Amino acid sequence: MSAIFERRSVRSFLPKPVEPEKIDRVLRAAFEAPSANNRRPWEFIVITSEEDRKDIAAMSPYAKMLPKAAAAIVPCANLTRLGKDGASDDSWWVQDLSAATENILLQITEEGLGGVWLGWYPDKSRTSAFSARFGLPDHIIPFSVVAFGYPASPVKPATRFDSSLVYYGAYGKK
């Protein structure tokens, strides 16, 4: 559990590439995420080209660090994997992709790297721009962008636990 407590958003990176075996382990961690009805509606795009990272950074005012990152992983939802059980609401994929994104961040920390989760979905301008630039078909939705690489400075863990936000048995009950 140390990665859970050590992970922080890193937005400043060294100009050093990430080894392919580390990227592979990060992707393997993403595939281990839980998903509703085990549908695993995800697909992942690995971005290592600086030109591609610059193009993605231009799609969001919050992605300015992306060109300096060594790489990015873009978890995408494949909507053809939904609704096989006849469910009328296929929006569970958002939770599935959130779990995969968190696994990516935790494994990045395990690898001695740093990363940051950039929100993409449900912002239509970002998802449309990304889909157009990278040729995604309509049934593939870019969910998030995780920029990562070697941190430019040490990452300092901080405790975020707040017992005032915890209730037992019912809301407001301490």
pTM: 0.94
Res 174: pLDDT: 87
Per residue in 138-162, pLDDT tens? 999 999 999 999 999 998 888 899 9
d(CA 105, CA 8): 9
Res 84: pLDDT: 60
Per residue in 73-131, pLDDT tens? 999 999 998 876 555 467 899 999 999 999 999 999 999 999 999 999 999 999 999 99
The values of phi and psi at residue 108, to 5°, are -55, -45
The pairing of beta strand 71-78 with beta strand 140-142: antiparallel
Res 158: pLDDT: 86
Per residue in 61-73, pLDDT tens? 999 999 999 999 9
Domains of the chain plus CATH, in order, are 2-165 (3.40.109.10)
131, 78 in Cβ contact below 8 A? no
The DSSP letter of residue 154 is P
